[in-house]
Homo-oligomer: A and B are copies of this chain.
Amino acid sequence: MLGIGDDAAAWKPSGSHLSVITSDALVDGVHFRSGRMSALQIGHRAMAANLSDVAAMGARPVLATVALGVPPEAHEEQLLDLYRGMQALASGHGVRIVGGDIVRAPALTLALTLVGEVRRSHLRRRDGACPGDVVAVTGPLGASHAGLLLLDRDLPVAPELARRARDAFATPQPRVREGRWLAASVHLHAMMDCSDGLATDLGRLARASGCGATVEAVPVDPAACAVAQALHEEAAAYALDGGEDFELIVAIAPRAFAHLSARFEQHFGRPLLRIGRMEKREGLRLLEASEERELASSGWDHLRP
């Protein structure tokens, strides 16, 4: 109803829905490096991180505000590209940027806030998982971390996989449509986005739900496999601890999983990947060659024997 230019923006929220709100900040040198990414990509990533949080609630994103901290060395075209990057992804999901703030700052800083709407019955939290639930993710993991590693060096990786990794890092696609679709099922007990790596985020979901989980299969993206192979590293680590993949982690009633995942694949043209199960026993475990290993949510590598 009222956008940029007044003391605040105004809109008419749906009378039958709940509203959701999330804020995420990204700082140059901490969350991205402006020298190594284009402003378009930085804007895209900032918007993707916030859209992903709204998606994880099962909500439809509606509007965004942007507080931009601008360092002395920034130039106009760079700032316009930041907005273009945010705008392109936002409008692709029907989101309007309705206001914000521009301030001087020692480093480029993007603090975004997103508001969404969701039917009360479709709101999905991270604390609703039950022991026995199937754990699944909306896509393979680790490609974003592989793309980050490719920023640093040239590696003997097939060009199409290198591009896939770089795209996953620079222009990640938040699973907004997938989140809304999944949230419409009463059998979906819990959902959150995978922004800090599977080990950390599944650990959080399990703790919030008062149970534990065992990961039976780590779905590693082929681009992550290729980069890991070139570096003689373990690709599973990229998925478990890499972060920034922005896939959704879900806990689904076991008897409903087969049907739901078949319909998911029909609808989106790619599978809902089963990765394990929720359990009464607290903690996070990884099943490797029929042996269980404890996973630390603080970082997979740290507990490597």
Contacts and interface: CB of A to CB of B under 8 A. Distances in A.
Interface in A74-119: 98-101, 103-107, 109, 111, 113-116, 118
Contacts of A11: 18-21
B192 A67 contact: no
A27 interface: yes
Nearest to A30: B104
B65 A7 contact: no
Q: How large is the interface on A (under 10, 10 to 19, 20 to 34, 35 or more residues)?
A: 35 or more
B57 A6 contact: yes
A123 interface: yes
Interface string A14-26: 0110111111111
A187 B249 CA distance: 53
A145 interface: no
B63 A10 contact: no
Contacts of A1: 18
A66 to B, nearest CB: 7
26 contacts: A2-B123, A6-B126, A6-B208, A7-B56, A7-B193, A8-B54, A8-B116, A10-B18, A10-B19, A10-B123, A12-B18, A12-B120, A13-B19, A19-B19, A21-B115, A23-B66, A24-B101, A25-B103, A25-B109, A25-B111, A29-B106, A31-B103, A67-B113, A105-B109, A106-B107, A111-B111
Given A10-B57, A13-B18, 8 more contacts: A1-B18, A5-B208, A19-B19, A22-B65, A23-B100, A23-B111, A25-B68, A25-B111
